A and B are shown apart, each in its own frame.
Chain A
């Protein structure tokens, strides 16, 4: 009996002992993320590049499902079991974590100077004094089109709204292609690829967005209702049964070559490149009249921050400084065409479609999604309500005016603009 106990103790001590040695040798950092699509890129490109430059630090990328990420992360942070590095959602979701003391202040992190104020705005306190996540990437909205289809039907890339609807009519009359691949079943397609895509041209990008936050404009103003009126006109150009068409359905419809135009976010580029067998092009949301200034949604989407309770804060800061470097920006932007670096250093990209998207930054004025900053802090949540209302407007079950009035009423119930 004593013999067995002794053996057990010895074995246990040997295991524990070796575990201790392993800890002393390498620091392991864990990254929490919702980008489970990027697992391969992190494991094959980004992490090896970092580990080569920084021996002694091991990095593990551990993503969870996008829709569960926020809830899962909050639970893990509260329980103290979250990873060292936290992928940051833009604006309030992360700001909340910073206020709770769960994200560390990174204002003075080496490498932060590589980012412009606009790039950092998504991960700063309202007064802009503290920054708590390193900006990683933004996504740009626009339309991706089937070049073969356009060539076959002799359609030029539409620049104005009139051209756009003329092109849709032509595709519809021809009948070979579904004019536009979008569904309303998942709701967010209607809001993100619809309303937030074409909207900035109406509310003049940042100007309108900031006026809304200041309370100078309301969602019931003509500039905010007009995009809904345009969305309502999309209905006849969508596929049969679009009310039950999900987001993957829309993607497949386009990549199988059955639809001509896809209201897109630039994040689609890498999937489309591998799936579509035809040539693709992209155009920014058409302006109302020829010669109008164009506005695009260039939305800060991903940042990365430091868990305030991390045991390996120093190693984690080394990693974050690396993320802030142009080296990371180049690898990331090329591995994931469609996620554009926010780094001030110019990044050379190989992908033509991604180049097309990013070229709009020069001729159009960028803005971010109107509902993300400040306005989605309360209940009812403006972003989520916008999903529902945009889908209603496209389905034809609610008029643009009624939808906007509802949204403004919901916003008024909790939002008091700082005058």
Chain B
């Protein structure tokens, strides 16, 4: 009976204009600044500039990107570097973020608000400042890194990290980790605070404390947050550009060893020094970045997100 009256009332309810009205501003802005440019990029990648006019060439640009030995070498190099950049973030940034959050949420810790703020501050700094500051810290000439190592007698371990092919990318990844570790920390911290006291108390009554409490009780409860962080890291890393550009320049030296998709796109799209920009090939690379991120996000949403178990309190 009540079910029936509910359906009945739904039928008669007037069109709910307010939903459209309230959604409209965000939708319009989002369409104008995100969706249209996205389709513009995809469209641009299907054209080629011949004699100053845009000619439709189908998937020719993609064929060049993957078929031409030089283009494809640059692309795979950038993708490989980007993957390594992401792996470092997943292996270093997120575990440290979780660990810091676990420490911060421990009730015995004093000054936790101070630590929280201090660790979060680098996140709000500009890339330019971070890149410049670290370049100075690591500088073999005036940096503090060689002197600090000297103080503990490890001067021999100092290497001009940003100038060596084998270390530069890892060094930059770690700088980026330093800058952004505050974000997973904050998200996990919030998730940990929302674990109800009763669950923890019950665990304690059963003798689950300390480390095993973290592994068996807290970690499963924050897994959905870790999932979200992973996907944020993935999207952020594959869109990264600023730090590499400000620290290593557009040629992402030495010998392209720090070239990631973002810098590769920039160089191609806008050109660099004597190289004139090629918006069409640039858009092709941008489209590939979009597809890679799209694939990653879909994989996460359909394979992982659906299997995560959620607990309701």
Contact = CB atoms under 8 A, between A and B. Distances in A.
A379 B270 contact: no
B163 A410 contact: no
B254 interface: yes
A243 B141 CA distance: 11
A413 B274 contact: no
B141 A241 contact: yes
Interface string B154-180: 000011111111000000000000000
Nearest to A369: B274
Contacts of A96: 276
Interface in A371-403: 371-372, 376, 379-381, 383-384, 387-388, 391-392, 395, 397-398
A123 B297 CA distance: 50
A115 to B, nearest CB: 23
Contacts of A224: none
Interface residues of B, number: 33
B165 A387 contact: no
A395 to B, nearest CB: 6
A403 B142 CA distance: 31
Contact of A241 (B70, B140, B255): B140
A383 B273 contact: yes
B67 interface: no
Given A245-B140, A388-B251, A388-B256, A372 B163 contact: no
Contacts of B160: 241-245
Contact of A410 (B52, B70, B162): B70
B255 A371 contact: no
Contacts of A246: 135
B250 interface: yes
A71 interface: yes
Nearest to B250: A67
B165 A397 contact: yes
Given A243-B160, A244-B162, A244-B163, A376 B270 contact: no
Interface of A: 67, 70-71, 74, 91-93, 96, 100, 183-188, 239-246, 249, 252-253, 371-372, 376, 379-381, 383-384, 387-388, 391-392, 395, 397-398, 410, 413
9 contacts: A74-B277, A240-B141, A244-B139, A244-B161, A246-B135, A379-B70, A392-B254, A397-B254, A413-B70
Contacts of B254: 184-185, 187, 243, 388, 391-392, 395, 397
A391 B253 contact: yes
B58 interface: no
Name the residue among B70, B161, B163, B272 with the largest chain A CB count within 10 angstroms. Answer: B163
A245 B274 CA distance: 23
A187 B275 contact: no
B278 interface: yes
A242 B163 contact: yes
Contacts of B161: 244
A91 to B, nearest CB: 8
Given A187-B249, A243-B160, A384-B251, A379 B140 contact: no
Contacts of B135: 246
B17 to A, nearest CB: 31
Given A96-B276, A100-B52, A244 B253 contact: no
